[in-house]
Amino acid sequence: MMPRNRWCRANGRLTTREIERRRRPTDEVHGYRDPVSSILIIEDDQRIRQSLSNRLAERGHEVEAVGTAMSGVESAVSGRFDVVVLDLGLPDLDGAEALRMIRAISEVPVVVATARDDEVEIVRLLNAGADDYVVKPYSAEHLEARLRAVLRRSGSEPEQRVITVGQIVIDLDAQEARFEDRPLDLTAREFELLAYLAERSGTMVSKRQILAEVWHQPYGGADKTIDVHLSWLRKKLGESAADPKYILTRRGVGVRLVDPDS
Ligand code: CA
């Protein structure tokens, strides 16, 4: 995937911070890469805001947190942040409306935090321009994993080379996967599907999303194809729909990859 130049397209020019960041990864003399992400949290619940800020800051990120949609939108479009976490239940403005306002001006990646695990609502938000979502309550670790995935997709962070979910180890560079220390013999599509689920491990993904992002096809009753590939994957992971371990499906909702031992 081509890295997209979000700030440049959003503001028509690069911010100082962006110029600085772009220079450093190519600084081959020092081999320096900036591991820090600059995160904006828009969340009215002071306890959540405080604890998320602290946890993410402890993990080395630069964090700024605001409590209202209006100040959030203003900061989000400033070009100062790599990624925005937007709570949908805000006192001054509907979160979806705030998302639309941000999207009207900026392409900064936005992860929405919703209290409702409702597929219709989530699809609506993804269509409205959210890059990903988390369902409350979520841990700082889970949020961070989602933020990293979003940053990778937006080209703001170097590709993570290896993803591990329980006994599954996926090497994205080599396009190889191992299970219980043995190579998994996967077709290209199976590999892509497994990697897609692993990057979002623990989170329910709808078949619509899988079809769009793994098969690059619009939705239209073709989800039998996904079922077939899931059953092949399951077989290779030594499990079945009747006795699942890693691949959990919920009828009419979607599928998620989990570490059965965590
Ligand atoms: Ca709220």
Distance 141 CA to ligand 1 centre (A): 20
Distance in angstroms (rounded) separating the CA atoms of residues 79 and 15: 7
Q: Distance from the CA of 68 to the center of ligand 1, in angstroms?
A: 9
Q: Are 139 and 238 members of one domain?
A: no
47 and 145 Cβ atoms separated by less than 8 Å: no
Work out the number of other CB atoms within 10 angstroms of the CB of residue 227.
13
Query: Residue 199 is inside which H or E element, if any?
Result: helix 188-199
Between the CA of 18 and the centroid of ligand 1 the distance, in Å, is 30
Interval between CA 153 and ligand 1 midpoint (Å): 27
Q: Are residues 88 and 181 in the same domain?
A: no
What is the Å distance from ligand 1's center to 103 Cα?
20
In CATH, what number is assigned to the domain containing residue 174? 1.10.10.10
List the CATH number of the domain containing 81.
3.40.50.2300
Q: What is the chain's alpha carbon radius of gyration, rounded to the nearest angstrom?
A: 19
Q: Are residues 240 and 136 in the same domain?
A: no
> Are 72 and 175 in a shared domain?
no
Q: What is the pLDDT of residues 124-177, one digit of tens each?
A: 888 889 999 999 888 888 898 889 888 888 776 555 578 999 999 998 878 899
Long-range contacts of 220-227 (CB under 8 A, 24+ apart): 226/193, 226/255
Centre of ligand 1 to C-alpha 151, Å, is 24
End-of-domain residue from the set 91, 123, 154: 154
Mean pLDDT, rounded, of the chain? 83
pLDDT for 4 beyond 60? no
Domain of 175? 162-257
Specify whether the CB–CB gap between 77 and 106 falls below 8 A.
yes
Sheet holding 83-87, edge to edge: 62-66, 38-42, 83-87, 110-114, 132-135
Better-scored residue on pLDDT, 35 or 32: 35
Residues 23 and 127 in one domain: yes
Total domains in the chain come to 2
pLDDT in tens, 35-51: 468 999 999 999 999 99
Cα(26)–Cα(221) distance, integer angstroms: 45
Residue at a domain's end among 130, 154, 178? 154
114 C-alpha to center of ligand 1: Å? 9
Same domain membership, residue 95 and residue 16? yes
Measured in Å, residue 229 CA sits from the centre of ligand 1 at 38
Same-domain check for residues 24 and 121: yes
CB 141 within 8 A of CB 155: no
CA 160 to chain centre: 13
